Amino acid sequence: DAKTTQPPSMDCAEGRAANLPCNHSTISGNEYVYWYRQIHSQGPQYIIHGLKNNETNEMASLIITEDRKSSTLILPHATLRDTAVYYCIVSRRAGNMLTFGGGTRLMVKP
Amino acid sequence: GAGVSQSPRYKVAKRGQDVALRCDPISGHVSLFWYQQALGQGPEFLTYFQNEAQLDKSGLPSDRFFAERPEGSVSTLKIQRTQQEDSAVYLCASSLEGGWQGYTEAFFGQGTRLTVV
């Protein structure tokens, strides 16, 4: 599975959009990009995933660059409850044997 | 149940003691996964079951770690002769899909925090 690089931490003002970047320059053609988040003392929670097209669901949007070497997770209106560690994962496996890495600790501030 | 349930939530074991951690997946979920999460780190994959079959155990750190899912539902992760380096949160996850096509999200339990003293 391709390695991902994320900033260790980010801040965001409540109500503003949170844009979380992820670099995956060694991604291969059949590898998906997955995003999970982990709120303190809880298990990880699935957010969204994609292959090459941009994706949107009720939680977030995923923007993948045309060369697929990077992606951005967008939380359109961050709330205090979005404070969590966000993991960007790249995997060719359709199952859930996921390699989490260090993630980005997002702090949403009032 | 409504979600993945793990028990106990907290376990303190003396070094050398055997422990058993239980996971009740979401009813009907075919796939079950165990992860280990050390303090300040992301979760690391341990093992994967599809129904009762253990299809991947490549992440188990040593032969002291053993997992089973005999009836394709509840799973137990057993650690023999615990060591201090085994201290971590052990997370269980389940997902609906049973094959390698398509993707269904993993639902995680809250984990069992194991402290070996």
pLDDT digits (tens, 9 = 90+) for A15-37: 999 999 999 999 988 888 999 99
| Helices of type H across chain B | none
Q: Kindly report the average pLDDT of chain A as a whole number.
A: 93
- Looking at the partner chain, which of A32, A46, A101 has a beta carbon nearest the beta carbon of B106? A46
Query: Structure tokens of A37?
Result: 């988040």
Q: Is residue A93 predicted with pLDDT exceeding 70?
A: no
More confident residue, A102 or B20: B20
**Whether B16 contacts B105, CB under 8 Å:** no
Please give the pLDDT value at position A94.
56
Q: How far apart are CA B15 and CA B85, in angstroms?
A: 10
Q: Which residue of A has its CA nearest to B91?
A: A43
What are the start-end ranges of the E strands in A1-110? 9-13, 18-23, 32-38, 45-50, 55-56, 61-64, 70-75, 84-91, 104-109
Q: How far apart are CA A67 and CA B114, in angstroms?
A: 43
Sites in chain B below the pLDDT cut of 70: 1, 98-102
pLDDT band for A9, please (50, 70, 90 cuts).
very high
Beta carbons of B103 and A94 less than 8 Å apart: yes
**Partners of residue A22 in chain B, C-beta under 8 Å:** none
More confident residue, A95 or A57: A57
